[in-house]
Structure formats: structure tokens, C-alpha cells
Amino acid sequence: MSQKVLLSSKEINIILHRLACQLLENHVDFKDTVLIGIQPRGIFVAQRLTKILLEEYKVKHIDLGFLDITFYRDDFRRGEKTLEATKTKINFLVEDKKVVLIDDVLYTGRSINAALTALQSFGRPKEVELLTLIDRRFSRHLPIQPNYRGRQVDAINNEKVKVMWEENEGEDIIYLINR
């Protein structure tokens, strides 16, 4: 098993700032927009973007939520290991709002499909966009594409993208691992 650094901490920070600028360009004051990080790993991207938008770009208020998709996944009962649910925290209405779903890696599209289904429990959004830090473009099983992408990666099926966050693993770094 070998691994190669895809993005360093500095590169991740640059990409997060670019994504924040793209969001700001399209949503200006975030009055009618909510950000929702997909549990478990999309929440780190969502929290970082929210912090950048609030502190560095002086957006006054952003509704940030976390969405657990465990029981909406189409592979929920397929594996040997028992899946553990995380917490959904959406303390606002999504009805008639622009929703930006945020995840760390877009791979097959199945997680996003599950997130779209789970989101319906909270109302009918006016519009849904997808932001992903890493887009594995040749691995899609469903016709799902991001509106905002940090980096596009051409990883083949025996390769894995591993995103590590300082809050969780002690450093910000993204690896391409060859299994």
C-alpha cells in the first residue's frame, strides 16, 4: 500500500478560500441560503467554510446544519459491519431556501443521493447545490455533479482518497492511497 500527498494543509486552505469566494459570489448575504454538511466528514468542510465566510468575509449570519444520511443509504443493510448513525442538527427551515450540501469527497454519488432523500424530511428547498472538496470524476454510479469543487481527481477504483482534518487526525492533509 502506497500513498501520495494530493493536497497539503496550505493547498487545502487556499482551496477553501476559493470555495468561500465562489459561495459569496453566488449567495452574497446568505439571507436565503443555508449550508448543510453531510455527516460524518462533510461537516469539517462546512465548518471551515462557515468560519472563513463569517470571520474573513464578514458575512453577518449563516445557517449551518449537519445531516446524517446513514439510514438513507442504499447500502445500509449490505455490509457485514453495523453502521452507526451520527447526529442530524438542522435548527432552521429549509423550505424555500437555497441549500448548499457540503461533503469532503464525491465518489459514486450514492451519499449525495441519500442526502437529497434525507433532506426532504426537512421541507422542500427552493434549490439545492453541491459543494465538494474532492471530486473523483471517473467513479460515478449516478448522474450527480458538484456545483463547486475544490479539486478534481482522476483516481481509479483501487485507489482511495483519504481526507484528514486537524480537528480529527491532527493535521490537514489529503492522500491518494493505492490499495
Q: What percent of the chain has pLDDT over 90?
A: 78
Is 128 a member of any domain?
yes
In the numeric block, which cell numbers belong to residue 59?
Answer: 458575512
Do 147 and 130 touch, CB atoms closer than 8 A?
yes
d(CA 158, CA 39): 24
Is 139 a member of any domain?
yes
pTM exceeds 0.75 = yes
Is 31 a member of any domain?
no
Is 161 a member of any domain?
yes
Is 125 a member of any domain?
yes
Is 76 a member of any domain?
no
The domain spanning residue 170 has which CATH number? 3.40.50.2020
Band (pLDDT 50/70/90 cuts) for residue 83 is low
pLDDT tens digits along 25-70 = 999 999 999 999 999 999 999 999 999 999 999 999 999 999 999 8
Residue 158 reports pLDDT greater than 60: yes
Domain that holds residue 144: 3-21+39-71+85-178
Do 1 and 31 touch, CB atoms closer than 8 A?
no
d(CA 151, CA 158): 19
Residue 76 reports pLDDT greater than 80: no
pLDDT at site 86: 80
Distance of CA 106 to the CA centre of its chain: 8
Is 27 a member of any domain?
no
